[in-house]
Amino acid sequence: MSDKKIVYSGIQPSGNLTLGNYIGALRNFPKLQEDYDCIYCIVDMHAITVPQEPKVLRAHTLDILALYLAVGIDPEKSILYIQSHVPQHVELMWLLNTMTGLGQLQRMTQFKAKAGDNKEVYAGLLNYPVLMAADILLYGSHYVPVGDDQKQHIEMTRDLAERFNSRYSDTFVLPEMLKTKVGGRVMSLQEPTKKMSKSDPDANGYVLILDDDATIRRKFKRAVTDSQGKIAYNDDQPGIKNLLDIYSACSGKSIEDLLKAYEGKGYGVLKEDVAEAVIQEIGPVRERFHEIRGNKAYLEEVYTSGAQKAAYRANKILRKCYKKMGFIPR
């Protein structure tokens, strides 16, 4: 193990990934490999907090692994694995569950949003953040690159780490959220005050990483704007603001430069150019994805060796927790 700081993140295989997942999280992962000791997980245990079709879950799990590889995560440099292959996550979750307030879990915005008006809400959905805390704490992670919507989960992870440390002596690192400069919250193309999400019933609200070029152009063409007719970056024009954020994230150009370049221009041109910038950015990823996804043997090799490395590390921290809490070692 190196003395580099540890970066940890995860993505749920609960559907096809959106441009939001890509800009807010995925595309930042390979860049971190050079400076940090990186661990990237496919959090299939989190995905089942909402109903999943078994065949589809299996396919999506391998899709995420292929996407991790397609964006340039190198399994020689980073650990890539599937959460359910390392049962220590669930063990630590149980330990942390015994020190997590029910009220705190019920107040989590994501829980409230997902539970919504559903008559049947399962305990797994409520305990989702405890499993996420276990994921992160199990590896002594220093930084967690995630989109803005995960802020509350990271705060709760820190709370739990502090609680454990003060009760049983210093054990866990207090992790910090690593925010992206632009695109920490990509909004829906149809309702730009709402986060872009793969669970949106309106498919025009999101762009998928695996959408083809024509679909991407069509979705941007239909993107909701406003009737102000000027290209500006402010909260009164959430549709335009979102388009500029996506454009800036995909082109590398600053918002100021974009505002100068589009002064006096129409929304139609902006939408077309954003679509092209997105295609430029994700087109190559999509191509590599299709090459890698077909190679089942390679994927299996990557997740098998990833799970071995992850379990080795996870076990070390978990044993410490058990010991400190008073369990008899095996």
Rule CB under 6 A: is residue 65 a binding residue for ligand TYM? no
Among 66, 73, 92, 196, binds ligand TYM (CB under 6 A): 196
Rule CB under 6 A: is residue 61 a binding residue for ligand TYM? no
* CB proximity list for 130: less than 8 A, separation 6 or greater: 93, 96, 97, 100, 105, 160
Rule CB under 6 A: is residue 238 a binding residue for ligand TYM? no
Catalytic status, residue 114: yes
Strand, helix or coil at 48? Answer: coil
Q: How far is CA 197 from CA 16, 24, 66, 87, 97, in A?
A: 10, 12, 20, 29, 28
For 138, the token pair is 């199990």
Q: Which helix (H) or strand (E) holds 240?
A: helix 238-251
Q: How far is CA 39 from CA 78, 79, 83, 142, 300, in A?
A: 6, 5, 11, 11, 17
What is the closest distance, in whole angstroms, from the C-beta atom of residue 25 to ligand TYM in the complex?
4
Hey, what amino acid is at 68? Y
CA–CA gap between residue 177 and residue 145 (Å, rounded): 6
Backbone torsion region of residue 252, taken as left when φ is above 0, otherwise alpha when ψ lies between -120 and 50, otherwise beta: left
**Considering only 91-99, 100-108, 149-157, 258-266, which stretch makes contact with ligand TYM by CB under 6 A?**
149-157
Rule CB under 6 A: is residue 186 a binding residue for ligand TYM? yes
For 206, the token pair is 């999101």
Rule CB under 6 A: is residue 146 a binding residue for ligand TYM? yes
Q: How far is CA 28 from CA 24, 31, 58, 189, in A?
A: 8, 6, 25, 22
Of 5, 77, 151, 198, the active-site residue reads 198
Among 135, 245, 273, 281, binds ligand TYM (CB under 6 A): 135
What is the closest distance, in whole angstroms, from the C-beta atom of residue 264 to ligand TYM in the complex?
30
Q: Are 2 and 38 in contact (CB under 8 A)?
A: no
The smaller minimum CB distance to ligand TYM, of residues 25 and 92, is found at 25
What is the closest distance, in whole angstroms, from the C-beta atom of residue 110 to ligand TYM in the complex?
7
What is the closest distance, in whole angstroms, from the C-beta atom of residue 297 to ligand TYM in the complex?
26
Instruction: Tell me which residues in 6-45 interact with ligand TYM (CB under 6 A).
Output: 8-12, 20-21, 23-25, 43
The smaller minimum CB distance to ligand TYM, of residues 23 and 209, is found at 23
Q: Comparing C-alpha atoms, which of 47, 27, 41, 35 is closest to residue 75?
A: 41
For 210, the token pair is 């695996």
Hey, what amino acid is at 310? A
Among 149, 159, 200, 213, binds ligand TYM (CB under 6 A): 149
Rule CB under 6 A: is residue 175 a binding residue for ligand TYM? no
The angle, 0 to 180 degrees and rounded to 10, between the axes of the packed helices 123-137 and 151-168 is: 70
Position of minimal CB gap to ligand TYM: 24
Among 65, 80, 136, 231, binds ligand TYM (CB under 6 A): 136
Catalytic status, residue 253: no
Catalytic status, residue 323: no
Q: How many residues bind ligand TYM (CB under 6 A)?
A: 26
Hey, what amino acid is at 323? K
> Which residues are the active-site residues?
114, 195, 198
Summarize as ranges the residues that interact with ligand TYM (CB under 6 A). 8-12, 20-21, 23-25, 43, 46, 132, 135-136, 144, 146-147, 149-150, 153, 184-186, 195-196
